[in-house]
Amino acid sequence: MNAMSLEPMLESLEERLKAENAELRIRLGEAEQAINAIRLGAVDALVTGGPGEQQVYTLIGAETPYRSFVEHMQEGAVAMTMDGTILYCNRRFAEIVGWPLERVVGRTFQSLGTSESAVSALLAQAEWGASRGELRLSKLGSAGVPVFAAVQRLTGEGADLCMVVTELTEIVAARLLVGELEIRVDERTAALVATNLELQGFTYSVSHDMRTPLRAIVGNANMVFEDEGSNLSENGRRQLQSLATAAVKMAQLVDDLLQFARLGGSALVIERINLSQLIEKVSRDVQPLHSECELELTVAPDLWVDGDARFLGMALQNLLDNACKYRKAGMPARVEVGKEECGGKPVFFIRDEGIGFDMQYVPKLFVPFERLHRDSDYPGTGIGLANVKRAIERHGGIIWAEGELGVGSKFSFTLPDANLGVHAG
């Protein structure tokens, strides 16, 4: 096929494309006019064409799904004039107020409220656009129904206001139940606090009163041993020594219980503390109690905290005492005190190179009277670490332990940031 024979075909194709383009422009123009007419509210029906028959959509037809939605919604719907006269309501609203639908229309909304002034105030606020609030509506056979009402001002002909009403009966009942539960919790908490205070007072009194007779037992046993020891049999001396030893242990237990009671009941005196200096001071008190132990202490400088020096001193003393007690045989008690960062917050630690412990027993460490060793091997009362935990927690901090048999132990604890406040209760 040569170029001469292609020219008629190209001309025909060009004419057909021009015609189709013109038709498209006409349709686009009509569509634009229809859209503008809809926007301006100038038409009340729209004819659409498609593969099948043409369909006509009217504004009245478009209202049908909206009306069906309002009729079947789970909230009450009301349309009224500005003075509150009800022009329309759905069945759900009639159910809420307990009136037949036909008897609700024509009434004023104020007549349905238990407080006419509250209803009037809500409607008056809606004159400026919208308002919302909780009301109580009258209902046949009841003291009233609590509801939440949202009112919107309308423009144009017809109703002045529309309102959506949500029944709050179940929510109000839940609120009352929560309030009753809160009162019961407060009462039980107060009772527990009172009982706890009584128990702390009893523990303190009993422990304090036991110290004097225990000292007398120890003192008298020692005097008898010194004055009459030569007149006693070997078995008698052994039993007397056992009595004195038991009395000393009981006295130590009493002292620990007193400390435990003080930690729970005394108010905290919060001040800025140099923990490095405090632990140096505590170590000088602990060292004489373990004359057979050489304490090698390494402390990071300037460990500043906010806390109660008495309570923190008790905690540090117990931890250093444990480091000396549970050191490896024939070895000095090597202890390191420092600070680490965890999640951007300071964590203080006391690490030793003692006998350590099996991590499976961690849950028992801070429980009063729970011990991991026999008393004959490592004497103690089992309250020391419980006191440490209580002292740290009274400051609003937490403490945890890590250990490995034959390697050593590490006790880590946190104290609240000074800028975040300290729990001094």
The CATH number of the domain holding residue 311 is 3.30.565.10
Which of 115-119, 226-230, 335-339, 348-352 is predicted with the least confidence, judged by mean pLDDT? 226-230
Residue spans of alpha helices (H) in 144-291: 169-228, 234-265, 275-286
Domain-ending residue, one of 119, 136, 170 = 170
* Highest averaged pLDDT of the listed ranges 37-41, 176-180, 220-224: 176-180
Look at residue 3 and tell me whether its pLDDT is greater than 60: no
End-to-end CA distance of the chain: 104
What is the residue-wise DSSP string for 135-169? Answer: EEE--TTSS-EEEEEEEEE--SSS-SEEEEEEE-H
Q: What is the pLDDT of residues 308-358, one digit of tens each?
A: 898 899 899 889 988 988 888 888 889 999 999 888 889 999 999 988 888
Distance CA 425, CA 423 (A): 6
Does residue 75 lie within any of the structural domains? yes
Q: Which residues contact 79 (CB under 8 A, 6 or more apart)?
A: 86, 87, 88, 89, 154, 158, 159, 161, 162, 163
Task: Supply the pLDDT for residue 418.
Answer: 43
* Domain identity same for 33 and 90: no
Look at residue 398 and tell me whether its pLDDT is greater than 50: yes
Task: Supply the pLDDT for residue 410.
Answer: 94
Does residue 185 lie within any of the structural domains? no
* Domain identity same for 79 and 34: no
Question: How is residue 272 written in tokens?
Answer: 């800025």
Answer for the pair 140, 98: CB distance below 8 angstroms, yes or no: yes
Least Cα distance to 96 among 81, 113, 83, 79 occurs for 113
* Domain identity same for 291 and 391: yes
Task: Supply the pLDDT for residue 306.
Answer: 92
Task: Supply the pLDDT for residue 127.
Answer: 80
Range of the domain at 47: 27-62
Does residue 202 lie within any of the structural domains? no
Task: Supply the pLDDT for residue 326.
Answer: 86
* Domain identity same for 56 and 134: no
Domain-ending residue, one of 9, 39, 62 = 62
Does residue 73 lie within any of the structural domains? yes
* Mean pLDDT for the stretch of residues 5-15: 62
The CATH number of the domain holding residue 85 is 3.30.450.20
Task: Supply the pLDDT for residue 379.
Answer: 65
* Mean pLDDT for the stretch of residues 54-62: 52
Query: Higher-confidence residue: 54 or 28?
Result: 28
Distance CA 241, CA 244 (A): 5
Look at residue 392 and tell me whether its pLDDT is greater than 60: yes
* Domain identity same for 44 and 71: no
Query: Higher-confidence residue: 21 or 232?
Result: 232
Handedness of CA 23, 25, 31, 36 (dihedral sign): negative
Look at residue 56 and tell me whether its pLDDT is greater than 60: no
Q: What is the 3-state secondary structure (H, E, C) of 208-224?
A: HHHHHHHHHHHHHHHHH
* Domain identity same for 293 and 333: yes
Task: Supply the pLDDT for residue 423.
Answer: 40
Distance CA 314, CA 282 (A): 9
Question: How is residue 196 written in tokens?
Answer: 């706890």
Least Cα distance to 109 among 141, 140, 77, 154 occurs for 77
3 state SS of 41:
coil
What is the residue-wise DSSP string for 306-342? Answer: EE-HHHHHHHHHHHHHHHHHTPPTTS-EEEEEEEEEE
Query: Higher-confidence residue: 61 or 76?
Result: 76
Longest distance between any two alpha carbons in the chain, whole Å: 150
Question: pLDDT above 70 covers what percent of the chain?
Answer: 74
| Count of beta carbons in the 10 Å neighbourhood of residue 129 | 9
Does residue 58 lie within any of the structural domains? yes
In the chain, how many domains are there?
Answer: 3
Look at residue 103 and tell me whether its pLDDT is greater than 70: yes
Distance CA 259, CA 391 (A): 10
* Domain identity same for 98 and 121: yes
Q: Which residues contact 89 (CB under 8 A, 6 or more apart)?
A: 76, 77, 78, 79, 101, 104, 105
Q: What is the mean pLDDT of the chain?
A: 79
Task: Supply the pLDDT for residue 424.
Answer: 40
Task: Supply the pLDDT for residue 141.
Answer: 60
* Domain identity same for 296 and 356: yes
Q: How far is residue 188 CA from its own chain's centroid?
A: 21
Does residue 201 lie within any of the structural domains? no
Task: Supply the pLDDT for residue 275.
Answer: 92
Which of 119-128, 243-252, 266-275 is predicted with the least confidence, judged by mean pLDDT? 243-252
Does residue 260 lie within any of the structural domains? no
Query: Higher-confidence residue: 421 or 239?
Result: 239
Q: What is the pLDDT of residues 193-203, one digit of tens each?
A: 777 777 767 76
* Domain identity same for 288 and 407: yes
Question: How is residue 22 written in tokens?
Answer: 């013109």
425 band by pLDDT with thresholds 50, 70 and 90: very low
